[in-house]
Structure 1
């Protein structure tokens, strides 16, 4: 029946593209529409509460309870409170993720200092004076205060000592005076929206660290950084979009951006706002002119009274646009630190 055959062919030609189009539209919708009821929460593996309403009253006990040699995150939620204990994340405790209830009221603190005597009669020393030690890899902290309360006259007294290969901190506070924040050679840290205060060399060590939108607040005259970047390490400290401030008691032009703890120190400030407490020369050679030959101290578009570009020491640098681009997040630290959980994902404790 030729007539019917021709009619079928015409219908097929007309209808088939519509069917294909509908099919493709349906497939696209399935790919882009979120699944209803999709879980956007992570249940904490452990809850720490000073008032006894959690699984532990001590963060150290919660860390000790985490399984060794993990390859996925172990989430510890810390309720607000002051926890006075020396805390260590050991080498075999990788993938520890601690989240505080509030960065101002969830406080991890202790008061050791370098010259203080241990029970065996020996001194703690600078590196041993920390309130918090990180040796595990892929450590992450959010909404936490790390504090050392030894006081301004105690000398070296670390709030944190970071020896783990890679770590990240978001919305955290680091409080102390001399040598507040330390991280060892060959390690990587990313700090986002953090607050660090201190007086002398209060950010120091040989790590690669990227400080993104942080506040650096001086408690008295002194030096902000004391980098000891290894000679063959590409980057040291990069401060991007940071605020460099001081308490009202700190005198004008009394704080240096940095001095080299070792030769080859590398420190760069990119588009940072600097208050009047910053010394007009900007940088110090730690009393050794040879350090001027190896230190890489640079700024890019500093602003504020403390910027004073025309008065900086001759051996520091003002970067061009092209040079500054080589110190971007992607080039310095991207892919070299653990990721934060998404802002859309909440930690639950029930």
Structure 2
């Protein structure tokens, strides 16, 4: 009877794995139960310029790989088996030397490069494990219409690089942690119901929004918390003159400084950047001592920050 029971369990497990594999185009598993043992192998197997979505199921584990999703790989979908146990990680950093003895730089430090359009990820942890060693990017996103749902972004300085000038990005129910400028770049990005975890002291954002873009970073119903001391974090500073960042109905923790925003030691940025808030709550939401060049949105202005307005022809679920 015991032998039959063991065989039955094995058979059920085998059937379950077969059914799971049929749900996805590719399965990545370090134990050899998928088509690939590494994530990059699965990416490489995606046909170039395919016109349909390609789903890649990634079983739990720590995949230490420096990943590149090429521009020719569009509509690729990563689905993790378990959050937070499906982890894509690498440990490069800006001052680290390449084979020629040159510093890799901020962009060169990224653990994962997303060039392809319409990339999406669910239940994935993106990590740069280099530690507090300066700029060390967990993910660099250039492709348009990038969507992240129930994902984690782990690092210190420069964790999430929203690189693409023409890129629209959507983050839903994600966790993002870091220190200095840990969400930065030039993309138009909406963060909805996300948690921003402030480590030590620094700046939540460093937007470099192009002058011709109506929207930079929009945070809606997000929570700002962390283990940083009180009054040690700015909501943001302008990496480029026309940076745009708005916090709408967010819970701002005690970590946020009373003045809220920083001009990056350049007074002219106060005339060109656009930093605003609307009906935020929490210990860090008191606007009585906010810098005078920041804005408080009216009810009518706040209505203009809908998904439709931010993303245009991209209909985000």
**TM-score after normalising by structure 1:** 0.83
Equivalent residue, structure 2, for 1:76 = 56
- CA-CA distance at 1:336 after TM superposition: 2.3
Equivalence map 1:29-40=2 (5 Å): none
Higher-RCO chain (CA-CA 8 Å, sequence separation at least 6): 1
Equivalent-residue separation in structure 1 for 2:180 and 2:83 (angstroms): 24
Q: Does residue 308 in structure 1 map to residue 286 in structure 2? A: yes
Q: Does residue 293 in structure 1 map to residue 271 in structure 2? A: yes
Say if 1:227 and 1:265, in contact at 8 Å, map to a contact too. Answer: yes
Deviations 1:92-132 (A, max 9, x none): 11111110011200000000001101122222110111001
Equivalent-residue separation in structure 1 for 2:129 and 2:200 (angstroms): 16
Equivalent-residue separation in structure 2 for 1:126 and 1:148 (angstroms): 12
Root-mean-square deviation (CA), in Å?
Answer: 1.6
Equivalent-residue separation in structure 2 for 1:149 and 1:256 (angstroms): 24
Equivalent-residue separation in structure 2 for 1:204 and 1:278 (angstroms): 18
Pick which of 70-79 and 115-124 moved more. Answer: 115-124
Equivalent-residue separation in structure 1 for 2:262 and 2:214 (angstroms): 22
Q: Does residue 207 in structure 1 map to residue 207 in structure 2? A: no
Deviations 1:234-291 (A, max 9, x none): 10000000001112xx111000000000101000000000110100000000001110
Equivalent-residue separation in structure 2 for 1:218 and 1:323 (angstroms): 28
Where structure 2 has 5 or more consecutive residues not aligned to the other structure, the ranges are 1-20
- CA-CA distance at 1:334 after TM superposition: 5.4
- CA-CA distance at 1:156 after TM superposition: 0.3
Equivalent residue, structure 1, for 2:116 = 136
Equivalent residue, structure 1, for 2:141 = 162
Equivalent residue, structure 2, for 1:100 = 80
Say if 1:190 and 1:333, in contact at 8 Å, map to a contact too. Answer: no
Equivalent residue, structure 2, for 1:9 = none
**TM-score after normalising by structure 2:** 0.91
Equivalent residue, structure 2, for 1:18 = none
Q: Could you tell me which of 275, 291, 295 is aligned with 2:253?
A: 275
Q: Does residue 252 in structure 1 map to residue 226 in structure 2? A: no
Equivalent residue, structure 2, for 1:10 = none
- Structure with bigger gyration radius: 1
Count of matched residue positions in the alignment of Structure 1 and Structure 2: 298
Where structure 1 has 5 or more consecutive residues not aligned to the other structure, the ranges are 1-40, 341-350
